[in-house]
Structures are given as structure tokens and as C-alpha cells.
Amino acid sequence: MKTVPAFLAVCLMVAPVSASNDPPLNPGERAKGASKVVVATVTDVDMAFGENAFGDRLILSQVTLQVEETMKGAHEASVVVTIEGGSVGDVTLEVSDMPKMEKGKRAVLFLTSAPGGRYLPSGRGAGVAEIDANDRVVGGNLSIDDIRSAVKAEQGKGKQ
């Protein structure tokens, strides 16, 4: 009977550690794989059934963003980013590694080009860093200035 309490104690100690295994945002590495890096605010979300690059039929959210700053790539006043997940009628698809993008949400997005002039987050959900009212990454310790510096430094490496 002593093994049950010991096992329970080990489980309780391991649970908080395993819940925090998300890697921290490395903006320089993320920028390396992105064709565009922007700070933007969601202005519209249109959800519909569609197919991803692998031919899977699922719900896709077409997220329209008003761009306030372009850190990498050509500036566009607005961009449309395709995010897997969303709701159509009574059907909801939640994708564990993709963010839920809602009107008014502000983020730094690391993007790759997709067909039709749209974009995808580079590294899936890791390509979207939500920003709070103090210009800091939600759930992290980076500021927009930190990300801007890292993106600039990464771009400088390619020019040497």
C-alpha cells in the first residue's frame, strides 16, 4: 500500500514540469525560416471548410490582419493568414498547436508565402506570438523591441 502514495507523489511532481515543455520563442531562428515578419492586429476572421497542403479536409480560418510594422519582407498594409481550426455552424475544430485568432488580437507573426497571395505561420503555431497591451509576448519575457532586434540581427547575418 505504500507504493500508491509514493506513485501519486511522483505523478504530482512530474505534472507541472511536463506542462511547461513549450520551447521559448527564439525570434532570430523563427525569422530565419520566415519570408515576412509583421506586427499586426486581427481585423476579421472568416472560417470555412477547406483543405490543407496534405489534402486533409478541415476547418480553416482566413485571418485578415492590419499590419502596423514590417520587420522582414515587403510591407503590405494588410495580409491574410490561413490558420487551421475554427467553427462552422455547430462544428468546431481546435488544433492544439495553432493559435485561436480573434478580432482585436495583436501579434508578431512569422510568415511564409502560400498560394493566392496568402500566408501561413512559419513553424505553425510557433510562428504567432500574441502581444499584450505593454508590447510584450503573452506568456513570455520578450518585448517587441527584443524581437525587432533579433530579426534585424538575423537579417544582418545573411548580408555578410
pTM for the full predicted model? 0.81
Q: Which residues of the chain have pLDDT under 50?
A: 4, 7-22
- What pLDDT is recorded for position 21? 43
- Domain 23-158 adopts which CATH fold? OB fold (Dihydrolipoamide Acetyltransferase, E2P) (2.40.50)
pLDDT digits (tens, 9 = 90+) for 55-100: 999 999 999 999 999 999 999 999 999 999 999 999 999 999 999 9
Do 34 and 72 contact (CB within 8 A), yes or no? Answer: yes
- What pLDDT is recorded for position 23? 56
- What pLDDT is recorded for position 28? 85
Cell 488580437 belongs to: 105
Instruction: For residues 46 and 68, give the distance between their C-alpha atoms in angstroms, rounded to a whole number.
Output: 21
